[in-house]
Amino acid sequence: MSRVVLIGALPESLINFRGNLLNALMAAGHMVTAMAGTDAPDVIQRLSAIGVDYRSYPVQRNGMNPAVDLQTLIALRKTLKKLRPDAVLSYTIKPVIWGGLALKGLPATRFYALITGLGFAFNKTDKPMRQILTAFVTCLYRFSLTRASRVIFQNPDNRDVFVLRKIITKDKCVIVNGSGVNINKFSLTPLPEGKNKIVFLTIGRLLGEKGFREYAEAARRIKVKYPETVFRLVGPEDPSPDRISQQEVQRWHDEGIIQYLGKTDDVRPFISDCHVYVLPSYHEGTPRTVLEAMAMGRPIITTNAPGCRETVKLVEGQTLDKDSIDVVQGENGFLVPIKNADKLANAMEMFIKKPDLVLKMGTKSRKIAEEKYDVHKVNHEILKAMGLSCE
């Protein structure tokens, strides 16, 4: 039995994204403490029900305020010094960086980092200030991860960036198939009736890097030719510098090209009511909503971008040019270039012209989810990488 601390930023993410991992740790007999940025009574209650202790700490998920970040570091160090866990697993940028630095001087505690995506700081740009930000974040990662026993990635592209930037050495890296998906909770569901009206859906925080502007533009083009087609968007606002304002989304809604359905705590009813799931993201670790849609038997349109391209299985013998500017048809969906509304619309039109693809590719999506992305298999690999016993 080991004492394990899991550090995130948003309390809700402990349930929504790491709940199955916490259950796996408890089932294996470990003593578990989960940490996140604020006290959240509902989250605390749900964690307590499975035997997980909860500790809050101050963290600003977005922004680079040195005073706030210093408070984060001090609070984490104080808690970790008191708990003296055998292992710490941090995920997302702030918990990884400040969690690793907080463990300096605690040599008996093993540190593991789960990189769920590179985020805004690593977007390619010619803007000098953004390049400075990338260099600064690179340095922070480098200092933090010298303490790491293993660094767990969700796709090889992100790993290669860290190795190329000399943040870590390749021998420390482990790759898992995303965060996995609970294939029982996200069960196979029948397609909505009415082949003559295809419903497309995308889900995510309202960020430009999710490709939602391209989604709206593609919808605008499609509805000129196929006005009965439905395009839905589900997701909350976000304080990031890359945010899409509520006003902009409302304009899409008022124009009649997008049905904006707000935020939700349960995406399953929305996925059940769609035919095709779309995520035109610029980069991901592995997109959780795509895995959930696959598990529920929906075909996928996503981008030929790190973390996204892995979710569309290529046809046997097919090779993928990572710089391709064409639409790529796989077994369970299509890959399109990032930031390209025209190609995105072309992929959407394929399902409108050939509606039989929806069921065929959706069936394949479910099979891939079962074989590759089952959360129990993914969690087994994470615990194995951490040197912890499994259930």
User: Which tokens go with 57?
Assistant: 């700490």
Q: Which helix (H) or strand (E) holds 329?
A: strand 328-329
> Coil, strand, or helix at residue 390?
coil
Which parts of 8-143 are beta strand (E)? Answer: 31-36, 53-56, 87-91, 110-115
Q: Two tokens at 356? A: 């039989």
CA angle, residues 154, 7, 373, in degrees to nearest 5: 30
pTM for the predicted model, two decimal places? 0.88
Overall average pLDDT of the 38-63 stretch: 89
Residues 61-81: tens digit of each pLDDT:
776 778 888 999 999 999 999
Identify the pLDDT of residue 322.
84
Structure tokens at 284: 């991901």
Per-residue model confidence (pLDDT) at position 391: 59
Kindly state the DSSP code that residue 120 receives in the 8-state scheme: G
Measured at the alpha carbon of residue 32, what is the angle toward residues 72 and 35, in degrees to the nearest 5? 20
Rounded to whole angstroms, how far apart are CA atoms 195 and 170? 48
What digits encode the pLDDT tens for the residues 284-328? 889 999 999 999 999 999 999 999 999 999 998 888 888 888 999
Tell the CATH superfamily of the 199-372 domain: Glycogen Phosphorylase B; (3.40.50.2000)
- How confident is the model at residue 257, as a pLDDT? 96
Q: What is the pLDDT of residues 251-295, one digit of tens each?
A: 999 999 999 999 998 999 999 999 999 999 998 889 999 999 999
- One-letter amino acid at 190 equals P
Which residues have C-beta within 8 Å of that of residue 152, sequence separation ≥ 6? Answer: 112, 113, 114, 115, 173, 174, 175, 176, 382, 385
Residue from 177, 171, 137, 135 nearest 153 by CA: 177
Residue 196 has pLDDT above 80, yes or no: no
**Partner residues linked to 57 by β-bridges:** none
Give, to the nearest 10 degrees, the angle between helix 288-295 and helix 356-372. 110
Confidence check: pLDDT of 123 > 70:
no
pLDDT tens readout for residues 7-34: 999 999 999 889 999 999 999 999 999 9
User: How far is 276 from 351, CA to CA, in rounded Å?
Assistant: 8
Q: Kindly tell me if the per-residue pLDDT of 195 is higher than 70.
A: no
CATH 3.40.50.2000: which residues of the chain? 3-180+375-385, 199-372
Provide CATH code, domain 3-180+375-385.
Answer: 3.40.50.2000
SS3 316: coil
162-184 pLDDT, tens per residue?
999 999 999 999 999 998 999 99
Mean residue pLDDT across the chain:
92
Residue 389 has pLDDT above 80, yes or no: no
